[in-house]
Amino acid sequence: MTTFGIDLGGTNVRCAVVDDDGNILAEQRGATLVTVSWEELVAVMADLVRTLAADYEANAVGVGAAGLVDRDGVVHYAPNIPCLRRTPLRAALAKALDVPVVVDNDANAAAHGELVHGAARGVRYALVITLGTGIGGGIIARERVIRGAHGFAAEIGHFQIDPNGPVCACGERGHWEAMASGSALGRMGRERAVAGRFPKAVELAGGDPESVTGVHVGDAAQEGDADGLAVIDDYADLVAIGLAGLSNMLDPERIVISGGLVELGETLFVPVREAFARRIEGFEYRPRVEIIPAELGGEAGVIGAAALARELV
C-alpha cells in the first residue's frame, strides 16, 4: 500500500509516495510561497498530490508542518510560514483531495519516521534530536511520539540552559536551541576566528573570519586541526547538557541525532558521548544510553508523515 507524505517547510514543500517499508517511490517539490494566502498554499500541496496520484494510489496523506499544530491538524502558528495562523490545514486538504489527511508538527513527523522505519525502530523510549538551523525533535515514550495535550509537544530545543546566553529565535535568552544548534556551532567558530585563534577555519572560509560557518568548523576538525577539535569539544558539551537534562527527565534507552552535523560522524559523536557520560546523573548506576546517528536523514519528514497517514487507513 502507498501513502503520501508532505514536508511543509519555510522554503519548500515536498511530497513523496512511500510504501509500507518506508521506501520513497516518487516525489514532487514546490515552493512554499510564504507570501501567498493559506488557500493557495493548500492548492499547491493538493496539486503535488494529484500529480503523483496519476501513478500511485493516494490512500491517505500525512503532512509535517513547521509550526504549532494541534490534534485536529490546525496550524496555530508557524514562524516561517506567516500565512498559517489558526489555519485548518487538515480539514482544507482533506476536502480538496477527498482522502484521509493527518497534519502534525514536522519534527514530530520526522521522529515518527525514525521510530517506524529508522534508527529508533523497536525502541520504547527514545529521543530523536535534529541539530540544524534550530534544534527540533521528538520524545518517544511507550513506542509513540508524545504529542502533548494540544499536539504542541515538540519544542524540544526551547528550555533555558544559560540565562546569559544568546537570544533564541523564540525571543528567550539562552535556550538550548540558541546554544547548541548547527547555527550555534557556526557562531562559535566565527567568534574564535574573529579573535584570531582559528586560522584553519579562516583559510577554509576563503580568508574572511566573518564567513566561517559550522561546515568550516567541521571540516577543520575532521582534518585534525586542534582549534577545530577544541570548538567541537565545547560544542559537544553544550549538546550534552541538553541531552543529559532530557535523559534525567525521560530515561531514554537510545538517542538518535539527525541533521547536517551527523556527517561529522565520530568526530562529533565521541565527544558528545564523553560529555554526556559526565553530565547525566548517576551515570555509573545506569544502563548505557546509546547515542547514534539517524538513518533517514533529510527524508525522515516525508517518510514519517506518510507513516502517520498509514495509521488512518
Question: Which residues bind to its own copies, rule: CB under 8 A?
Answer: 68, 76-77, 86, 123-125, 139, 141-142, 144, 146-153, 155-156, 158-164, 170, 172, 241-242, 244-246, 248-253, 279, 281-282, 285-287
- Taking the complex as a whole, the smallest distance from the CB of residue 165 to its own copies amounts, in Å, to 9
Q: Are 104 and 69 in contact (CB under 8 A)?
A: yes
C-alpha cell at 235: 560544542
Is 81 or 302 the residue whose CB approaches its own copies more closely? 81
Smallest distance from its own copies to CB 298, Å = 24
Scanning 223-297, the segments in alpha helix (DSSP H) are 226-250, 266-279
Shortest Cβ distance from residue 123 to its own copies (Å)? 8
Q: Find the shortest distance in angstroms from Cβ 76 to its own copies.
A: 4
End-to-end CA distance of the chain: 10
Nearer to its own copies, 251 or 263 (CB): 251
Q: What is the smallest separation between the CB atom of 233 and its own copies, expressed in angstroms?
A: 15
Minimal distance in Å, beta carbon 278 to its own copies? Answer: 9
- Find the helix packing angle between 182-194 and 226-250, rounded to 10°: 150
- Give burial (CB, 10 Å; 0-12/13-18/19+) of 196: exposed
SS3 content of the chain, % helix, strand, coil (to 5): 45, 20, 35
Task: Tell me whether residue 85 or residue 95 sits nearer to its own copies (CB atom).
Answer: 85
Cα(193)–Cα(197) distance, integer angstroms: 6
Nearer to its own copies, 56 or 159 (CB): 159
Q: Which is nearer to its own copies, 148 or 297 (CB)?
A: 148
Please state the closest distance from residue 30 (CB atom) to its own copies, in A: 26
Kindly tell me which of 96 and 280 has the beta carbon lying closer to its own copies. 280
Given the complex with its own copies, which of 156 and 303 has the nearer CB atom?
A: 156
Q: Are 231 and 204 in contact (CB under 8 A)?
A: no
Give the pairing of strands 254-258 and 126-131.
parallel
Alpha-carbon torsion angle 76, 79, 81, 87, nearest 10 = 10
Q: Which residues contact 21 (CB under 8 A, 6 or more apart)?
A: 117
SS3 94: helix
Is residue 111 within 8 A of residue 64, CB to CB? The reply is no
